[in-house]
Amino acid sequence: MSGLRLDIDLDKIGANARHLVDRAAQRGVSITGVTKVLLGEPRLACTLVAAGVTGIGDSRLENIERMRRADVDAPMFLIRSPMPSQIDRVVESNSTSFNTDRDVLAALAASARASGRVHDVVVMVELGDLREGVMPEELQDTVRHVLALPTLRLRGVGTNLACRSGIEPGDENMAELSGLVDSVEETFGIGIDIVSGGNSANLDWLGGTGNVGRVNDLRLGEAIVLGRNPLTRDPIAGLHTDAVTLVAEVIESKRKPTRPRGHSGQSAFGVVADPMGTGG
Ligand X SMILES: *Cc1c(COP(=O)(O)O)cnc(C)c1O
Residues making contact with ligand X (CB under 6 A):
34, 36, 59, 79-80, 160, 199-200, 219-223, 230
Question: Closest CB to ligand X among 6 and 248?
Answer: 6
What is the closest distance, in whole angstroms, from the C-beta atom of residue 232 to ligand X in the complex? Answer: 12
Question: Closest CB to ligand X among 31 and 154?
Answer: 31
What is the closest distance, in whole angstroms, from the C-beta atom of residue 18 to ligand X in the complex? Answer: 16
* Residue showing the smallest CB distance to ligand X in the complex: 221
Question: Closest CB to ligand X among 10 and 110?
Answer: 10
Question: Closest CB to ligand X among 233 and 254?
Answer: 233
What is the closest distance, in whole angstroms, from the C-beta atom of residue 131 to ligand X in the complex? Answer: 8
Question: Closest CB to ligand X among 56 and 146?
Answer: 56
What is the closest distance, in whole angstroms, from the C-beta atom of residue 54 to ligand X in the complex? Answer: 15
DSSP string, the chain: ----EEEE-HHHHHHHHHHHHHHHHTTT-EEEEE-GGGTT-HHHHHHHHHTT-SEEEES-HHHHHHHHHTT--S-EEE-SPPPGGGHHHHHHTT-EEEE--HHHHHHHHHHHHHTT--EEEEEEB--SSSSSSB-GGGHHHHHHHHHT-TTEEEEEEE---SSSS-PPP-HHHHHHHHHHHHHHHHHHT----EEE--SGGGHHHHHH-S--TT--EEEESHHHHH-EETTTTEEPTTS-S-SEEEE----------SS--S---B-TTS-B--TT----
What is the closest distance, in whole angstroms, from the C-beta atom of residue 32 to ligand X in the complex? Answer: 8
